[in-house]
């Protein structure tokens, strides 16, 4: 048996940063993502977001890759949103996502950060957060 604990903070946005994720819609989508993740043996420790993006902490299993987990979460949830006409118009996630490792010592801090997304975004825009994230981790900025 493999013993693995790899915490990953993932962030993904709606296509063209449309503000689809109103409070009610966001809760419904998050509930669905958590339920569906359970069926696929994806462990989501924390998930929340703002009107145009979501953050989550996942724990990768020994047979899982970040790309496959993100494909399952984003692809299935977009399909479910459109099938159930949750947003009233065609919904898409942006192609890109960001994922960084989280150490055990910082796990609680990231949980709090994710839980407080609404408050956080009263002070900082998505663009500001995005640019800080890109700079802090040395990623290239992509446009969709």
For the cut 70, the answer to whether the pLDDT of residue 80 exceeds it is yes
In the block, which residue shows the tokens 């296509």? 15
Q: How far apart are CA 59 and CA 64, in angstroms?
A: 9
Look at residue 128 in the predicted model and tell me its pLDDT.
83
Is the pTM above the cut of 0.85?
yes
List the domains of the chain with CATH numbers. 6-137 (3.30.70.1290)
Q: Tell me, what's the pLDDT at 141?
A: 62
Both tokens assigned to 48: 């929340």
Contact 74, 36 (CB under 8 A): no
- What pLDDT was estimated at residue 142? 56
pLDDT confidence tier of residue 122, bands split at 50, 70 and 90: confident
Q: Is residue 76's pLDDT more than 90?
A: yes
pLDDT band of 94, cuts 50, 70, 90: very high
pLDDT band at 10 (very low <50, low <70, confident <90, very high): very high
Q: Which tokens in the block code for residue 30?
A: 């998050």
**Cβ neighbour number for residue 35 with a 10 Å cutoff:** 10
Residue 143: the pLDDT is 57
pLDDT digits (tens, 9 = 90+) for 20-69: 999 889 999 999 999 999 999 999 999 999 999 999 999 999 999 999 99
């Amino acid at each position: 048996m493999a013993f693995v604990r790899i915490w990953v903070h993932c962030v993904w946005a709606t296509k063209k940063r449309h503000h689809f994720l109103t409070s009610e819609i966001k809760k419904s989508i998050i509930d669905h993502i958590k339920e569906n993740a359970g069926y696929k043996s994806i462990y989501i420790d924390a998930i929340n977001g703002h009107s145009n993006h979501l953050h989550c902490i996942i724990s990768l299993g020994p047979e899982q890759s970040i790309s496959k987990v993100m494909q399952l979460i984003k692809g299935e949830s977009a399909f479910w949103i459109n099938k159930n006409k949750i947003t009233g118009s065609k919904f898409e996630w942006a192609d890109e996502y960001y994922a960084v490792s989280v150490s055990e010592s910082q796990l609680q801090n990231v949980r709090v950060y994710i839980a407080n997304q609404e408050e956080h975004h009263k002070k900082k825009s998505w663009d500001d957060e995005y640019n800080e994230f890109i700079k802090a981790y040395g990623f290239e900025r992509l446009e969709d």
